[in-house]
Amino acid sequence: MKRISILKNPILEYAWGSRTAIPELLGTEPSDTPQAELWMGAHPKAPSEIRNGSQWESLLTQIENDPADILGSAVARKFGNRLPYLFKVLAAAEPLSVQAHPSREQAREGFARENRLGIPMTAPNRNYKDDNHKPECICALTPFWALNGFRNIPDMLWLMGSACPRTLADELAALGNQPDSDGLRAFFHTLMTLTPERHAEILAEALDNAQMLAQGNPIFKWLLRLSRAWPNDIGVLSPLFLNLVCLEPGQAMFLPSGELHAYLDGVGIELMANSDNVLRGGLTPKHVDVPELLRVLSFAPRELEILLPERVSAFEGKYPTAAEEFDLSVIMVREADDEAAVFTNSGAEILLCTDGAVRISGSGDAEELPVGKGTSVFIPARVREYRISGQGTLYRAAVSP
């Protein structure tokens, strides 16, 4: 593969998706069904397609046929001949499940174990769809509400104590006596394994108190909203023990393996290691495996870090993350720019235009490829350098050098 090419990307439909957000980006009519995720990449579950002559062909197939040429020999060697990242547009009209992703070692062990047990890949109780970890970065295109990581324990005790002072008195006292990661693990394990009768009692008290506390407080407002969607789910309490954040457009956050989180509302660009492994803990009709979730979770409370792009050139800002599989950056070009926007490609890249209209050409190409809002392109390793002109905003997924 020697040229920059337009991608044709699959859209995944889940109940929490938006009927308008992805169609608006793509310039199509609103959907009759919820459209949750636009996938750009080469994951076996839903690979993008790329034109091969007069035919559309799976990007996954093309990479499998010639990994060194498309990915570059260094990337192909390091990542087992696979595109190491998956690029998405995520459109949440309703909250996603509370979830976490395993580390690479946990994923390899879990995937092998479920294979030995003969659990079909499509079985509803299957936790591991592949053998890879899934660190990820989410960047807001609209105001984007999310939960990310355990709160510090003093705040958690105050919030949980305000909502459930009677029904969780003993459990909160135990956490107060051991306000560390071990105490938090014990508290969360207890919360996740209580009887349905106790769950109902706890939620009833929490909702009564939240009604009085919600005025001007988004934490309790979200508790009430979650309760309307999932009235009998202990995950309704998640805003009390997880950090609640609203990312403004252009802000991002990084989620390492083992971090409990949930995306609640909004549209964002999501870039992750090429995996679909999810361990769920609530707010979902899907399989919840509490022992496995507890095995992968990090119980270290932390302050939430909001990421902003760090300028690397006149046209590009890169979001700082700890992932070895990917870099996420934002590119902004304007017709009035005095100098050309030229970029070096160290491996396979995907660009998504989210605003405006630009022209992209590889080094040595006489022809410029027109790229408008909602269009994505794949840049193979053979294209060592490319130029962007016009006026627009693009998000760039690249392999971390």
Instruction: Show which residues are catalytic.
Output: 280
d(CA 199, CA 383): 57
d(CA 261, CA 55): 40
Q: Is residue 6 exposed (0-12), middle (13-18) or buried (19+ Cβ within 10 Å)?
A: middle
Report which of 363, 365, 384, 388 is spatially closest to residue 375, judged by C-alpha positions. Answer: 388
Q: Is 189 annotated as a binding residue?
A: no
Residue 47 has a CB neighbour count (10 Å cut-off) of 23
Beta-ladder partners of 86? 272
Report which of 50, 54, 74 is spatially closest to residue 1, judged by C-alpha positions. Answer: 50
At 150, phi and psi to the nearest 5?
Answer: -70, 140
Q: Is 101 annotated as a binding residue?
A: yes
Output the CA torsion sign for 156, 160, 165, 167.
negative
CB 226 within 8 A of CB 235: yes
Q: Is residue 27 exposed (0-12), middle (13-18) or buried (19+ Cβ within 10 Å)?
A: exposed
CB 262 within 8 A of CB 233: no
Which residues touch 36 (CB under 8 Å, ≥6 apart)? Answer: 12, 13, 14, 16, 17, 18, 90, 91, 92
Across 219-238, b (16+ Cβ under 10 Å) vs e yields bbbbbbbbbeebeebbbbbb
Q: Is 43 annotated as a binding residue?
A: no
Binding-site residue ranges for Zn(2+): 99, 101, 136, 261
Binding-site residue ranges: 99, 101, 136, 261
